């Protein structure tokens, strides 16, 4: 029983770390768009993102600890902090809306990055050739369509939970 729990905790820690790092790949994928010297500018951008992440994480941790807030299944920690700080006022709903918009943008990164990854894998013959074809809008439509159907399949498989 202990080994099973240890594996579960390891996988939980890994998945939490992966979700905390979302956005890093967007910067690394956009290096060609950086002005020269691109590597230095990309490194500065990653450094700033890391500092911002550390400050936000530390702030949320201090506020949650100071307010005695514990994670609940029905309400996020950020929502509890906002509710405790501002009540159910305009600022509470502003924070909730802003958080929702950030999550929507984060969900979009998969649809912008996966087609490029599938193209590179298909070019190296690790995925079907159909992923190398550009669509009418010069995007890799087959990758986007595949990811869309895979997302729908996962939602149906797990009943959206």
Per-residue pLDDT of 96-146, as tens digits, reads 999 999 888 877 777 777 888 888 888 899 988 888 887 766 567 788 888
Q: Tell whether the model's pLDDT for residue 49 goes beyond 60.
A: yes
R_g over Cα of the chain: 20
Lowest mean pLDDT among 15-29, 42-56, 119-133: 15-29
Q: Tell whether the model's pLDDT for residue 153 goes beyond 80.
A: yes
- Residue 128 Cα distances to 116, 123, 134, 150, angstroms: 14, 9, 14, 16
Q: Tell whether the model's pLDDT for residue 1 goes beyond 60.
A: no
DSSP string, 38-53: HHHHHHHHHHHHHHHH
Task: Report the C-alpha gap between 73 and 36 in whole angstroms.
Answer: 47
pLDDT band at 29 (very low <50, low <70, confident <90, very high): low
Query: Of 1, 43, 5, which is closest to residue 24 (Cα–Cα)?
Result: 43
Question: Do 149 and 120 form a contact (C-beta atoms < 8 A)?
Answer: no
| Count of beta carbons in the 10 Å neighbourhood of residue 37 | 9
- Model-wide pTM > 0.75: no
> Torsion angle of alpha carbons 53, 56, 59, 61, nearest 10°?
-70
């Amino acid at each position: 029983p202990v080994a099973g729990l240890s594996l579960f905790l390891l996988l939980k820690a890994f998945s939490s770390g992966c979700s905390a790092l979302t956005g890093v790949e967007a910067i690394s994928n956009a290096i060609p768009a950086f002005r020269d010297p691109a590597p230095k500018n990309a490194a500065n951008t990653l450094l700033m993102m890391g500092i911002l992440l550390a400050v936000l994480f530390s702030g949320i941790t201090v506020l949650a600890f100071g307010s005695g807030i514990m994670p609940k299944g029905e309400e996020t920690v950020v929502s509890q902090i906002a509710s405790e700080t501002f009540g159910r006022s305009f600022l509470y709903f502003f924070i909730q809306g802003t958080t929702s918009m950030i999550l929507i943008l984060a969900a979009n990164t998969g649809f912008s990055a996966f087609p490029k990854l599938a193209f590179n894998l298909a070019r190296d013959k690790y995925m079907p050739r159909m992923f190398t074809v550009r669509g009418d809008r010069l995007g890799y439509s087959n990758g986007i369509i595949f990811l869309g159907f895979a997302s729908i399949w996962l939602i149906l498989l797990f009943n959206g939970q």
